[in-house]
Amino acid sequence: MSKFRRRLIMTKKSLPYVPLEYIASSGTQYIDTGIDVDYQLKIKIKFLSNTKYGIPFGTYTNDWKIFNLQLYETKTSAYFSTKRVDFSEIMGQLSEIEMSCDGIYLNGELQGLFSDYLYFLPQYTLYLFCNNSLGSAINNLSGNIYSSKLYAFDVLVQNLVPCKDLNGVVCMYDKVSKQFFYNQGTGSFIAGPEI
């Protein structure tokens, strides 16, 4: 056995979780990131939608300021505050999105800018696999999430990776806080392949 392979095996054994390629939601599972949404937030997320509708991440506040990515059969829209950007259809495709108050990028290419955005005041946390609608999960996504990174002023504050905990529960693990994030909805996440 090579030294590299031996090191890789030892590293996997020392992790507090079993890494997965992705976790999948049937449409009733979601994760509360615990991170408040405000004008400084940036998300980088890799996901795949299995349906023609749903929200991979999102929140909105009492005054209807919105931070989310909405998937529809005919269009895809990203909202920051009251500003919207329409861009290409991404249903059924593995996609990497980067979104902040500056604009939205799809697989590294700028899709649109959010000009004249209104500042968010932190009221509700960002949900994954759905929209946090004033504290309730709505418009759930049926699909897979491969990774989610949240930044505040370009400082990484959360790095969620798909996994199974040591009891075999499918969830996400934050490499920053060293904490597990479990399903807040009904049913259970589906595990992707182990890596």
pLDDT in tens, 132-187: 999 999 999 999 999 999 999 899 999 999 999 999 999 999 999 999 999 999 99
Residue 22 has pLDDT above 60, yes or no: yes
Q: What are phi and psi of 183, to 5 degrees?
A: -60, 130
Q: Taking Cα atoms as reference points, which of 22, 33, 60 lies closest to residue 127?
A: 33
> Where does the pLDDT of residue 45 fall: very low under 50, low under 70, confident under 90, or very high at 90 and above?
very high
All structural domains of the chain: 17-191 (2.60.120.200)
- Find all residues with CB under 8 Å of 105, minimum gap 6, and list them: 97, 98, 99, 111
Pairing of strands 41-49, 143-152: antiparallel
